[in-house]
Amino acid sequence: MNDFKPGTGPVAPSPGDPIDSDPVETSPLGVKPLWPGHSAHPDRPARSEDAEPSPTAAHGLLGTDDAGGRVADIMDRARERNLGRAEELAGWVKAAEQGELTHDGRLVAAEVAHQLAGSAGTFGYQAATDRAREIEGIFAEEQPAEAWERAADCVQDLVRRLHEPPEGGSVR
């Protein structure tokens, strides 16, 4: 899936840190790397002009004026960031399935799911938020082995939901 290893995840930026606006390569899901130097497929090019449009743009959820375009860009970046978080969660689930998830790793994964739930809900992806909250709950406490199969199913559904347009038809 990717070269993610539990315990080597990204460090959250501090308030006031500059935001890197340089274009970066993308993973198979079309998302930015999880941390500097990470690349799921370095031999693949970044999004091309032939890439399929985002759910926001493809469904005309926002106007085409400058403000609507800027909001659509923000929504698309948040969606891509959330897809990256989902990819990271898939790595944590795989580690759990293999019996390699530590207590600290569980806490990090729960926080990633929490961030994803909040961000997805902000931009109208309620079903994705619900799934991320379920994943957060699974990671929040020790689980039997069979719980990780459910977590893997939730991550797959989460990714599917993030590839759909936001619920409700429009974002205000």
Q: With respect to residue 128, please indicate whether it lies within any of the assigned structural domains.
A: yes
10 burial type by CB count under 10 A (0-12 exposed, 13-18 middle, 19+ buried): middle
User: Do the domain assignments include residue 136?
Assistant: yes
Q: Which has the closest alpha carbon to 56: 103, 123, 127, 116?
A: 123
How many C-beta neighbours within 10 Å does residue 78 have? Answer: 17
pLDDT digits 0-9 by tens, 58-69: 555 555 567 778
In a domain, 24, yes or no: no
pLDDT of residue 167: 86
Residue 129: inside a domain, yes or no?
yes
For the chain, list residues with pLDDT below 50: 1-2, 20-51, 170-172
Establish if 40 belongs to a structural domain: no
pLDDT of residue 128: 96
Secondary structure string (H, E, C) spanning the chain? CCCCCCCCCCCCCCCCCCCCCCCCCCCCCCCCCCCCCCCCCCCCCCCCCCCCCCHHHHCCCCCCCHHHHHHHHHHHHHHHHHHHHHHHHHHHHHHHHCCCCCHHHHHHHHHHHHHHHHHHHHCCCHHHHHHHHHHHHHHHCCCCCHHHHHHHHHHHHHHHHHCCCCCCCCCC
pLDDT at site 102: 94
Report the pLDDT value the prediction gives residue 22, as an integer from 0 to 100: 45
Encode pLDDT of 33-66 as tens digits. Answer: 444 444 444 444 444 444 455 555 555 555 556 7
What pLDDT, on a 0 to 100 scale, did the predictor assign at position 68?
Answer: 78
Task: Assess if residue 96 is contained within a domain.
Answer: yes
**pLDDT of the residue at 97:** 94
The predicted-structure confidence for 2-11, as pLDDT tens digits, reads as follows 455 555 555 5
What does the pLDDT read at residue 163? 94
Q: How many domains does the chain have?
A: 1
Tell me what pLDDT residue 24 has.
45
Q: Which structural domain range is residue 142 located in?
A: 82-162
Q: Is residue 15 part of a domain?
A: no
